A and B are shown apart, each in its own frame.
Chain A
């Protein structure tokens, strides 16, 4: 800053009349109101409220006025400047809001455009069903037991009261491995895990075991050389068939819904005695055998669905597995997981589980 501005003449002192000040103010207010965007408002601000604006200049001149006129003029100019500044602020906010509004409108997109850039993954329904089943039992305090798929013949058969000449061995078409004298098989059921559990834990035993099993069945819509079972085993003092029934009823309801119970039919398994087959009240027709007056397709009109096998652990099995058969009793059950999924979800062809067509698993998502 070097000296006064050339356009400024401190000597020329003109008194600021009311009208003049009001005119300056009104001109400013009009210009503010007329400003249609933020750029224009910026120009108006500089013109009417900037350092060189008439009101600013008038303000500066106040000091040169006689003391008597200073107060009145000062107040007048101050009020006018105040009005202008407030109008500017209001207009600024208005225009900013408008600008934002316009920007948002401009940025509008078609949100219905597909955005399927992330491929959908899925776990296999057999995996998720196995986990769901495990969770049901874990919630009751049971644990999940496991064992190898390639298993010792003794565990798959002998320890389960299936001696070498037991006719029931022919019921389970076994994959044998070479050399035969190694006595190693692909497990035909999850039951060797029962034996393993009893051999490695002390009662009370409450375990459930989902897993893969193998049988020499030709591969078709209802048979597969590989499928999945879930086995349950309880060994404790005072265990009865009633506890078996209670556990299965609970299991059935957890998977198929309230009110779905089970019934037992006498059957035969070497590792249980007494043995039973388990039927499930059809969860579609709820036992009536009819859906809309037509034969229920899920249970073929029987009202019941065959679900699996079960029974009281044969004391011979307890003995072979080192459990005191005088003190403890137990029960065991086994169900097909693939089969359970088939009738629960209407899977028509067992091969769907093993073909790996991504459309199949994706339909089930990541949980069941």
Chain B
């Protein structure tokens, strides 16, 4: 809402010398938030005067344009009293006309400095101005021609043009619809400065009678009040008075024609939307009803709209002629030949307005006010004000008929303990102050301790005692709220899971990984790029009804697309050596039932609560890793170590170790991993996810470096296995016995399984089995490999003998032989 300060001051007698900044600050403190403060006219400086055109010589130019070489009487404003020679490109004036002249030394909006300069073979000493050049509007079709009474040549024209004003733009919250009007803004200013206020809606209006235009309201709930007035003999050519056009412009709307401008002006003034019809184009009585499903209406914006049975429409015998309260129809629109006007001021059901606006994606100044709720007691005043202005400036004659259908609904009575504002705000607010402040905002207040409060009709947002608390508090002043820490009981700190998540991030950062946060939006192309099979469950994703991009309408089921895109972006920027991680939820829909919309008048039942939660997709936390380039850089010490398939596997193990969990690694197969370099990671028999090298084709398709390595695991599943209380280890202090064995097995036998076989066979004395070498070569034979393991044995209560150790080693080897046909190398 933009409010010209001159207009605010029309209704409230503000203290002398009050600056606009202080006014805006006060209103902000009351809840009308200052958005911006502008000083229209301030960007026009220097001499701007009335000029009288003396001569006008058209001079055709080589470029096809005709310019006018003029002499203009600017009185003494140019210091000489001589006529001023000015070149003008416009043609809409004649000698003898009064025009607006800006003289050398002046500056126009945009920092445009005026000086005498040579152009088209003349020295043009100034400029004859259009409205746009002065920042007075969009009109640039010609220069401003002033009426004969505008002033004497040489007199300043600023005041006449209403050039100078101050405009406060407010951000109006949905509960303060009344402040979408000068009436409301001025009322708040009066409240803030305890200043005298004149309500522009308080006027004597003619009584409704039977002579008005026939109106039938078939849906009084949708349209509780409908007021219609008519005028005849309106001069469609009558111009909008300059002050009115300027105010409309400063308030952020566009002046159009007197008839339209008057309705807009009164809407800005009183906050009540108004619609004008060309009375000659109306056919028969007006009816207000809900639309028939599928009915058509062409609205003022020339859009053909298919109506819903919930839309409120204004109709005549021809059918719908307007979307009630939202936008008028084209067939009855006022035009340049309209001489008879019907003025409609109707009060509409806000919810219907909101729904209709949303359904038809229509936002209008009228709709904005109607859906928030306007004062239902002022339609007669608003209509009368419109009629008054049409008569005054358009030469119209008011018809005696006054139509009024319906009565405004009564405001609710609200009971509130006078102690409530103090109890809620923590400020000391006495009962007297409560009653005083509520009266000041327009409420009627009864009682002393238990108050019965009736809010004013323009405050339809006030329905609850707490709404009244806010009114009292904002007048007492939010700045007076004391600062006191609440007495929280002893808390339990972070939950175990919350602590674990921090541990995961810290472990990875410690291992050189950089955390990234990516958007969860993907398209099926992302899954295609990862070469996910048609029936891969990860393709079953939750779809957004209104995605930002049609290419990414899905909530991702895997964190790989986001992190791989980040890898590509980084390498594109020359960040070649990368280790990235992200921890985020993925969305896994289960095709379950809909989430219920429950009541709000009570707590949901346990069953309802369960249903609601069951309807939500699973949202487990995932951990994803991506590495590219060198894991360790090369340097003066020698070559670096490129990222390997094994890095993400090791890092997942490191994370698991930080949680006290041991991860089993098995050969895996999963897109988009390299089919020969994919590990599946387990805790016990629970699969966490996969780690290894990204498929070379996928690397290429996504533009990430070759040999990029990745891991993605279900972190929620891993966290569930975290060890909360680590049992202290027991270990023997007797000497260790070491045995190395080398086993030749088929090349495709996983080392992890051979190791496990050794552990199983080695018995209780075995302390550890560690693979320390893998060898392939001629000595071993085609398709085979040699795995060298270091075994450590120790007893808790004695030093082991060679015989005991040898026996345990042989037992270990025996299992590997039996299970994999392993041959022991000498």
Contacts and interface: CB of A to CB of B under 8 A. Distances in A.
B636 A356 contact: no
Given A123-B505, A140-B485, A319-B602, A170 B358 contact: yes
A22 interface: no
Contact of B514 (A121, A152, A158): A121
B422 to A, nearest CB: 9
Interface stretch (B222-230, B258-266, B593-601, B770-778): B593-601
B702 to A, nearest CB: 14
B619 A149 contact: yes
B474 interface: yes
A354 to B, nearest CB: 6
Given A140-B485, A246-B486, A268-B174, A274 B469 contact: yes
Contacts of A123: 505-506, 509, 515
Contacts of A239: 486
A141 interface: yes
A319 B600 contact: yes
A246 B485 contact: yes
Interface stretch (A1-9, A55-63, A172-180, A286-294): A172-180
Interface stretch (B245-253, B487-495, B757-765, B810-818): B487-495
Contacts of A45: none
Given A150-B542, A154-B598, A240 B425 contact: yes
Interface in A151-165: 151-155, 158-159, 161, 163-165
Given A240-B425, A241-B473, A315 B466 contact: yes
B595 A182 contact: yes
A354 B481 contact: no
Interface string A256-297: 000001011111100001111100000000000000000000
Q: What are the 3 closest A-B residue pairs judged by CB atoms, nearest first?
A: A322-B603, A242-B426, A240-B426
B261 to A, nearest CB: 27
B809 interface: no
Given A161-B600, A246-B482, 8 more contacts: A122-B509, A126-B517, A141-B489, A184-B616, A241-B424, A245-B481, A266-B29, A320-B599
B520 A226 contact: yes
Interface string A103-127: 0000000000111111111111011
A302 B345 CA distance: 42
A320 B605 CA distance: 11
A216 B546 CA distance: 8
Contacts, number: 305
A58 to B, nearest CB: 51
A181 interface: yes
A216 B488 CA distance: 37
Contacts of B580: 356, 358
Nearest to B497: A146
Interface in B586-636: 587, 594-604, 609, 612-613, 615-617, 619, 631-633, 635-636
A117 to B, nearest CB: 5
Contacts of A218: 548
Contact of B569 (A152, A249, A268, A356): A356
Interface in A354-368: 354-359, 361-362, 366
Interface in B513-550: 513-521, 542-548
A302 to B, nearest CB: 10
A152 B519 contact: no
A143 interface: yes
A177 to B, nearest CB: 5
Contacts of A183: 594-597, 615
Nearest to B474: A266
B219 to A, nearest CB: 17
Interface stretch (B275-283, B571-579, B794-802): B571-579
A136 interface: no
B612 A155 contact: yes
Given A122-B514, A242-B427, A277-B33, A154 B633 contact: no
B423 to A, nearest CB: 7
A134 interface: yes
Given A178-B545, A250-B485, A320 B600 contact: yes
A177 B596 contact: no
B585 interface: yes
A243 interface: yes
A171 B358 CA distance: 12
Contacts of A216: 546, 548
Nearest to A325: B466
Contacts of B619: 148-150
B588 to A, nearest CB: 10
Interface string A303-320: 000000000101110011
Contacts of A245: 426, 481-484
Contacts of A184: 542, 595, 615-617
Given A122-B515, A239-B486, A366-B506, A150 B617 contact: yes
B354 A266 contact: no
Nearest to B358: A170
Contacts of A152: 595, 612-613, 615-616
A115 B636 CA distance: 9
A118 B616 CA distance: 43
B473 A206 contact: no
A82 interface: no
Given A142-B491, A240-B424, A266 B478 contact: yes
Contacts of B491: 138, 140-143, 206
A302 B636 CA distance: 53
B479 A264 contact: yes
B355 A355 contact: no
B511 A121 contact: yes
Given A154-B612, A265-B478, A268-B175, A141 B464 contact: no
B512 interface: yes
B49 to A, nearest CB: 36
9 contacts: A119-B512, A119-B579, A123-B505, A138-B491, A178-B544, A241-B426, A264-B479, A268-B176, A316-B464
B467 A357 contact: no
